[in-house]
Structure 1
Amino acid sequence: MAQVLEFKLPDLGEGLTEAEIVRWLVEVGDVVAVDQPVVEVETAKAMVEVPCPYGGVVTARFGEEGTELPVGAPLLTVAVGATEPSASSGSSASPAGPRGASAEGGTGADGSAAGPGSGAGAGSGSGSGNVLVGYGTGAPAARRRRIRPERTVVAATASTSVPATVSTSVPAAAAPVAGPVSPSAVAGGVNGRQGPVAVVSPLVRRLAREHGIELRQVTGSGPDGLILRADVDAAIRMAGAAETGSRAVAEPAAPLVPERTAVGAGEPAAERIPLRGVRGAVADKLARSRTEIPDATCWVDADATELMTVRAAMNAATGPSAGPKVSVLALLARICTAALARFPELNSTVDTEAREIVRLPGVHLGFAAQTERGLVVPVVRDAHTRNAESIGAEIARLTELARTGKLSPAQLTGGTFTLNNYGVFGVDGSTPIINHPEAAMLGVGRIVPKPWVHQGELAVRQVVQLSLTFDHRVCDGGTAGGFLRYVADCVEQPAVLLRTL
């Protein structure tokens, strides 16, 4: 007999607490194998394909595409050991409780039996050893677990007829399919008491608590009556309108879905775009950087003619010793690692609680990359051990992953210094914001022909503007100026770099 197991959104690592469903890779009734990707989600860091630790038939999916789910929320249920897409509701069930389900089983969102959130198939070997960071699927316990009635999760109040669901563990013999709960059962709850409301997000509970909203009076718009933040936001607006009468009610700062707010008769509506996913993560990091880091910026114009000449000669080389083409960004990255070796103060971070500057032993070089999903900063690990060719190859690899949205969270974190080439946007200068918790960022403008005094005469040279934003806590202007001057010297006279090779 098939055992129906529930697979929950696993811990995706890097402190991520939620993810948005981008695309389902399976349908209800599909047969999946162990560790087969079943859904593509977007976190604040990257796009991730989530593999299922069970092999069997998909019996239910939780959440539509575009829905944001917290870690630990149900993703789907799988009938392990099933040969047909749908489980039968034979006579093996014994009615128990107001829902008509057996005393040792529960029902999923679509009436299918729900299983444990992190177990594997009982004795079937259908569970994988590990799925993602912080999430594993070990063998299940052999003993049967009995559902306690008070753990029933109701998904609606007495005033609605939305079916409620039970999210519980399933014993070795799966429970049969149960029908929707009646309104009376929802109103009465279990043993005459109303059960807990269908809220899985701590943020939603906190928002309701701060505004005095009774969640049992809120009708959820999520799957199976799940109360979302948008529902609480609507309840806050309604409560505010009742209290203030004709006064305008302030809209929440960040609703979960875009909406248009009427400004006045005949006036166009303002579009509200939620800060979430990559854009939300960038916004949080930049705001924190400007709040915590006392930054300062210095800049200098440099004659990059010799650097461009050397690059052209490197890429024109032929023969066995000629490697792949070297980009300008790769050369600038190599110059940065040489400069950080001379000025290690800028390869550090600040421990605000201990009031200590932490100088880091290795350079993990981040570089800003603009993608369709927004600005991301992939990290070249151990850049201080690489030459220009190796750095260039890694930049090209990570850039391609960024464009396709396949960067992992680990590839987007852990940087110690960032290189930002905003010259690709056709601008000369900028004052970049430091990528918290790093201590500095080097910005590079476009390289363009400009009049320049060269060897005492006016000439047309390839000129670039370099700007350095640094944390004034880790060093003073002398150190920052020395770093930037060394970078400019290497750009103007690439032979200077040979001393460190």
Structure 2
Amino acid sequence: MSEATVFRLPDLGEGLTEAEIIEWKVAVGDVVAVDQTVVEVETAKAAVEVPCPVAGTVTALYCEAGSVVDVGAPLLAVDGGQEQAPERERYREEERAGSGNVLVGYGTGTARRSRRAAARAARPSPAPVSEAPVSDVPAGEAPVGEAPVGEAPRVISPVVRRLAGDNGIDVGAITPSGPGGVVLRRDVETAIAAASRTAASRAPETSRPDEGDSVRVPLRGVRRTTADKLARSRREIPDASTWVDADATALVRLRKDIGRADPGARVGMLALFARICVAGLRRFPELNSYVDTQRQEIVQMPRVHLGFAAQTERGLVVPVVRDAQRMTLAELAAGLKERADEAREGRSAPGDLTGGTFTLNNYGVFGVDGSTPIINHPEAAMLGVGRIIERPWAFKGKVRLRKVTQLSLTFDHRVCDGGVAGGFLRFVADCVERPEVLVTHL
């Protein structure tokens, strides 16, 4: 006595995982042929008739009508089952590849009236491959998943149909290699590969990003370090901001006078603001500090390591001029230029980008008036300088056009209150409007 073959519920495609047994087409003791319909099942999408892949005598039915079975669960056993022809078996094995035991011969329909025609059209015709498959479907109407008979290759596997659809492949243009002119999985994969090669060869001429395309930029290097530091600042520092408009006409004039008196000094507006900050921190040392969270202490620094924001091709960095409190205005200008050049050329040493105690941010170079920047952790404050432009300004009892800038101070409210922050900012504004105040405190 030959060993019985157990036939299991095949994968019905389209993500379906179960089916309900509607009606058995055979009973125990019946003799079945290869591809004979043995059961009708109902899925979430359609009713289909399931063919048996082997021939023999039915010895067992594993479930009753009305029961729900999972894909892969046993349906029936066939004793003395005769294996399929080698070509047919190879075809089935290929269709099963990559998606489990796929139901061969069926697409899922939307109406019961078409499922029998689909089942008949799905079976390989005994006629030679060159002859058109037999079908009782009227001309111009095809079973679900197929083209009109005699006009295009047949696709009878839901997996193959889905694979073609997901990749934009026209199955009508594919040369089938399966029995009876059936398009196999390998045929679609070959077409996908060919389409990819064609698209790649045309990419320089025709490829254009759609409006909805997203661009992903890896967050690494300088950008990642900056992002981590700013995120930590936002998490840990309860910051506040205050700002004031200042008449910078006299300071602009001073820069021009210095340039005429000592062209080699190359003193710019950034150096003048840096010098003002150093003088201000001497008067308000609370802002030249940081909070030691582990020891719950405010640590005031005796030296000013002045950081300044510099835009580079790799992103925003903050080079540091150390011991700025010891430098003359010309030395400070030279130090700022040296650190800026190193940053833009990518030559900055790690130590030159860390250890600052206060930061100056001249965002006015970007053509903006004001900002509330994020403090450079673990520092306690940052001074921002907006663009210097002509504005109507009350001067000596009259409205005149003056060189006006907006100054903003963002500070850690743990190290000081608004009185200290306001006092520092007012001192900076006084030095901008009357540079002689700065000279007094050098």
Q: Report the TM-score when normalising by structure 1.
A: 0.46
Q: Give 1:345's aligned residue.
A: 286
The separation in 2 between residues aligned to 1:273 and 1:459, in whole angstroms, is 48
The separation in 2 between residues aligned to 1:270 and 1:377, in whole angstroms, is 30
Shift of 1:267: 8.1
For residue 465 of structure 1, the aligned residue among 400, 406, 410 is 406
Residue 215 of structure 2: SS of its match in structure 1?
strand
Q: Percent identity?
A: 66
Q: Give 2:415's aligned residue.
A: 474
CA RMSD of aligned residues (A): 1.2
Instruction: State the Cα deviation string for residues 128-168 of structure 1 (Å, max 9, x = none).
Output: xxxxxxxxxxxxxxxxxxxxxxxxxxxxxxxxxxxxxxxxx
Uncovered stretches (5+) of structure 1, i.e. residues with no partner: 1-265
For residue 294 of structure 1, the aligned residue among 232, 235, 238 is 238
Q: What code does the residue aligned with 1:435 have?
A: N
Shift of 1:271: 2.1
The separation in 1 between residues aligned to 2:211 and 2:253, in whole angstroms, is 57
The separation in 1 between residues aligned to 2:228 and 2:254, in whole angstroms, is 40
For residue 256 of structure 2, the aligned residue among 291, 308, 312 is 312
Between Structure 1 and Structure 2, whose CA radius of gyration is higher? 2
Q: Relative to total residues, which structure has the larger helix share, 1 or 2?
A: 2
For residue 320 of structure 2, the aligned residue among 363, 379, 387 is 379
Q: Does 2:222 match 1:278?
A: yes
* Aligned structure 1 segments of 4 or more residues deviating by more than 6 angstroms: none
Shift of 1:323: 4.2
The separation in 1 between residues aligned to 2:211 and 2:321, in whole angstroms, is 49
Q: Does 2:296 match 1:355?
A: yes
Residue 452 of structure 1: SS of its match in structure 2?
strand
For residue 394 of structure 1, the aligned residue among 326, 335, 348 is 335
Q: Give 1:487's aligned residue.
A: 428
The separation in 1 between residues aligned to 2:278 and 2:215, in whole angstroms, is 44
Q: What code does the residue aligned with 2:247 have?
A: D
Uncovered stretches (5+) of structure 2, i.e. residues with no partner: 1-209
The separation in 1 between residues aligned to 2:254 and 2:212, in whole angstroms, is 55
The separation in 1 between residues aligned to 2:341 and 2:265, in whole angstroms, is 16
Shift of 1:474: 0.1
Instruction: State the Cα deviation string for residues 302-351 of structure 1 (Å, max 9, x = none).
Output: 00000011111111115xxx642211000000000000000000000001
Residue 364 of structure 2: SS of its match in structure 1?
helix
Q: Does 2:374 match 1:433?
A: yes
Residues 425/267 of structure 1: CA separation in 2 closer, same or farther (3 Å cut): closer
Residue 272 of structure 1: SS of its match in structure 2?
coil
Residues 414/268 of structure 1: CA separation in 2 closer, same or farther (3 Å cut): same
Q: Does 2:384 match 1:443?
A: yes
The separation in 2 between residues aligned to 1:271 and 1:443, in whole angstroms, is 31
The separation in 1 between residues aligned to 2:214 and 2:364, in whole angstroms, is 32
Instruction: State the Cα deviation string for residues 54-73 of structure 1 (Å, max 9, x = none).
Output: xxxxxxxxxxxxxxxxxxxx
Shift of 1:273: 1.7
Q: Give 1:336's aligned residue.
A: 277
Q: Report the TM-score when normalising by structure 2.
A: 0.52
Q: What code does the residue aligned with 1:286 have?
A: L
The separation in 1 between residues aligned to 2:412 and 2:211, in whole angstroms, is 45
Q: How does 1:57-456 map to 2 (within 5 A)?
A: 268-317=212-261, 323-456=264-397
Instruction: State the Cα deviation string for residues 265-317 of structure 1 (Å, max 9, x = none).
Output: x9844222221111111111111001000000000000000001111111111
Q: Give 2:200's aligned residue.
A: none
The separation in 1 between residues aligned to 2:344 and 2:297, in whole angstroms, is 37
